[in-house]
Amino acid sequence: MMKYEKIKSMLLTILVIISISLTWNIWTYQPNYETIDNGYVYDAPISESRDISSLIKPYKVIFHLNDAHYGTVKERDIDGILSEINKWGFYNFRNITNTLSERDFHRLMTERSQVEIIFPTPIPLQTYKGVLNFEDRNLPKAHFDRIAINSVGINENKTVVYFISLKDRTVFESNVSSSTLANFKNRFMNKAHTYSKYMDYKVHDHYTIYLPEKAQTLTRNKSIPNSLDPEKFKDALFNNPYYVKRAVKANGEEYTDSYSLMRVNYTNNMIFYVNPAQEIEAEKQTPSNELIEKSIKFVNEHAGWSDKYRLFDVNPGDPIVSYRLFIEGYPVFNEEGMAEILQFWGKEQIYKYVRPYFILDTFLPTEDTEMELPPGSEVIKMVENQKGFNPSMLEDITIGYKLMHDPQTPKILVLEPAWFYKYNEKWLPVVTNEEMGGNQNGMG
């Protein structure tokens, strides 16, 4: 009996200990639930991020030597020139616009031994301080589309550089002091005659376009585009991708939530995103430097620079920013916008975002790849012969590539060299007299 009572007592003790242990675990248990965070953080890069210096570049450099013009559009040449200029220190900025006559204004860009660096769109000085070494802390709120470098003497280590806006007809003068000026003169100015010879076409009193004097031979390329995953754009563009609904359409997909819409077009490999709540306010004007900085940051946040894009079109007071694809230093054009990253900015955030979702990284060997384009003098005649042509609306003429689907194999894209001209704020292909009966559509 004694033995039985002892066993019973031990069992009771064990049960009490188990009970106490279970109760303690219940009281102190904290479930390992995932934290619910309403603020979605995107961390799946689509392609690459880029800095200002790789996105804002000139697309043509002209050397004026002994009344002749020599120029280059090649990326390697322009990068070399910019690399040297980046070593300079710019100081003593001053507005000299009112001191110049029309003749003086024109001579700034055509004096002997001057270098003219041409940009495709007005660039805010405040934005370009991220590229050049400006010593002045408070830069003027001005834009430029050309930089003119004064002649550099043999033993000089200083010169004058002008930041010029043809559209606004403004000129800001600055001084440059650098021990590398002599190196710049030896590497580029003294060898300028080795570049292609250019002719000048005076559009009006103080606006000159420079075109290659001789016929140019470029390569016709074919490429199999490498598609980016539209799901990654969905994850990047919507506030909370978890609540986004996907629907399959006849030629693509459609993503929607309560606020935004994203369409994916399989035919032209384009993405169209819109957030109606951010619709553009006509009366609101964002300074160009803030707009450009926002536009670069926006694409960098989802690493969306899928090819060699450059800032190509932005106008002061306009909420639209365009980045264009460049191949071998030449801009690429396409009627459907397949060569352009286009942003429309709204009240606080992006309102509309239109872009391709492919990379041109695989080029195919093709037969008869060389194409000869007519010289500048012939192109000017073609442009002037366009129906209803008004010289005052002509803004620019350049060689570029026309991007199109291969007629035999639509999945293959063709890059065909051609002449283009900017007329009344639209880029158009230069057509021959035989082709003038067709329609002329703006190129995206």
294-345: per-residue pLDDT in tens? 999 999 999 999 999 999 999 888 899 999 999 999 999 999 999 999 999 9
| 189: amino acid identity, one letter | M
Residue 234 vs residue 348, higher pLDDT: 234
Residue 149 vs residue 18, higher pLDDT: 149
Give yes or no for residue 38 having a pLDDT over 70: no
pLDDT, position 367: 64
What domain range includes position 240?
A: 224-359
User: Residue 106 burial by CB count (10 A; 0-12/13-18/19+): exposed, middle or buried?
Assistant: middle
pLDDT, position 31: 38
| 385: amino acid identity, one letter | N
Q: Are residues 95 and 59 in the same domain?
A: yes
Q: Are residues 348 and 397 in the same domain?
A: no
Residue 24 vs residue 53, higher pLDDT: 53
Residue 392 phi/psi, 5° resolution? Answer: -70, -15
Q: Are residues 266 and 190 in the same domain?
A: no
pTM over 0.95: no
Q: Are residues 193 and 301 in the same domain?
A: no
pLDDT, position 28: 41
Residue 443's pLDDT band (cuts 50, 70, 90) = confident
Cβ–Cβ under 8 Å, residues 21 and 281: no
In a domain, 216, yes or no: no
On the CB side of 432, CA atoms within 13 Å amount to 4
Please compute the mean of the pLDDT values over residues 413-437 and round it to a whole number: 86
User: Residue 125 burial by CB count (10 A; 0-12/13-18/19+): exposed, middle or buried?
Assistant: buried
pLDDT, position 280: 77
Q: Are residues 62 and 186 in the same domain?
A: yes
Helix (H, G, I), strand (E, B) or coil at 154: coil
In a domain, 407, yes or no: yes
Continuous H helices in 162-284: 181-187, 230-237
In a domain, 138, yes or no: yes
Q: Are residues 368 and 267 in the same domain?
A: no
Residue 30's pLDDT band (cuts 50, 70, 90) = very low
Q: What is the DSSP letter of 388?
A: T
Point out which residues pair with 144 in neighbouring strands: 123
The CATH number that applies at residue 421 is 3.10.450.310
In a domain, 107, yes or no: yes
| Least-confidence region, from 27-31, 59-63, 150-154 | 27-31
Place of tokens 């536009």: 295
Place of tokens 């800032």: 311
Residue 368's pLDDT band (cuts 50, 70, 90) = low
Q: Where are the beta strands (DSSP E) in 257-319?
A: 261-265, 270-274, 309-314
Count the domains in the chain.
3
